[in-house]
Amino acid sequence: MSALFTSIKLRSLELANRIVVSPMCQYSADNGAANDWHFTHINTLALSGTAMFCIEATHVEPIGRITPGCLGLWDDATEAALKPILASVRKHSKAAVAMQLAHAGRKGSSHRPWDGGQQIQLEQGGWEAVAPSAVPQKEGEVPPRPLDPAGLARIRDAFVDAAQRANRLGIDALELHGAHGYLLHQFLSPLANHRTDEYGGTLANRMRFPLEVFDAVRAVFPADKPVGVRVSATDWVDGGWDLAQTIAFAQELKRRGVDWIDVSSGGVSPLQKIQLGPGYQVPFAQAVKEATGIPTIAVGLITEAQQAEEIVASGKADMVALARGMLYDPRWGWHAAAALGGQVAAPPQYWRSQPSSQKELFGRTTFGGR
């Protein structure tokens, strides 16, 4: 039996296989609100054969967006915009739906990637970004405003409010974004966090705010629903956040009941030197899993079915998450099941598509009709 197509249970959420659609920013929202693009994008990938689809980084306050086009969940309008999309997914797909809650911190007020991705100046419609310290993402940018106690409380409360809204929407699981140089990662990394108070300096202090956010979200999200965290295992810069600190952070999260660690890397500094290659981040997921026993999700240049199968079968990670590979092949899960002898759920409108050599792909051998 294919390891990739065995089930896994996270609290009360049982996933039929170990494949996740990774959260992918679409930079296409209207003042934070999802629209017809998100309807198409989410419904398409909810039919990919994966067990769980994770909605893109969903920002908890307007100044927490990366770009003006980023998705948000901070008021009734942004909440309402997601309702018809989720209703359609539930009608046609058996995939679980997770949501990644995020705050961009100093990486906020940026142009969309296809518009250059550079910082938007205030006079051009940008906003003042916030961060642990007045340290810009890169040289020449306007420094962010350091967060004071009131700002920390506001953001913590915003995560709580977004988690409650996500639960009202029927979201099955949450993932906190503590990676890729965004706010929670900024607190963790000594490259971005130069504070001298209880939120900076030592590892315990740098972990304090991300752990407070996790505790606050976990306290309000139903106990039977899982909450995971995405981390950057290394900054790929000397003197930055590294694997040993990631493991220490994961151990603290384990004590607080985290349900998975989604292990990525990089994003906090333009000086990073990443050693790219197929599955280049898998060893980080394996190290976290072996050191903590927490279920891990492996990401990063995972593109082939046999590659994903080996990662799970060998115990390097418990799940795999694909992003670009899913955009290129929105039926990746179907094709992986065909290659590995697994089965996927598909709507009956598509049952007749299975090749004659894959009559068990959908768990169906016949298709009635005239």
Which residue among 27, 182, 328, 350 is the active-site one? 182
Residue partners of 63: CB distance under 8 A and separation at least 6: 108, 109, 127, 128, 129, 130
CB 175 within 8 A of CB 227: yes
Q: Is 280 a catalytic residue?
A: no
The amino acid occupying position 286 is Q
> What is the 3-class SS of the chain, one letter each residue?
CCCCCCCEEECCEEECCCEEECCCCCCCCECCECCHHHHHHHHHHCCCCCCEEEEEEEECCHHHCCCCCCCECCCHHHHHHHHHHHHHHHHHCCCEEEEEEECCHHHCCECCHHHCCCECCHHHCCCCCEECCCCCCCCCCCCCEECCHHHHHHHHHHHHHHHHHHHHCCCCEEEEEECCCCHHHHHHCCCCCCCCCCCCCCHHHHHHHHHHHHHHHHHHCCCCCCEEEEEECCCCCCCCCCHHHHHHHHHHHHHCCCCEEEEECCCCCCCCCCCCCCCCCHHHHHHHHHHHCCCEEECCCCCCHHHHHHHHHCCCCCEEEECHHHHHCCCHHHHHHHHHCCCCCCCHHHHHHCCHHHCCCCCCCCCCCC
Give the residue numbers annotated as catalytic, written as ranges. Answer: 182
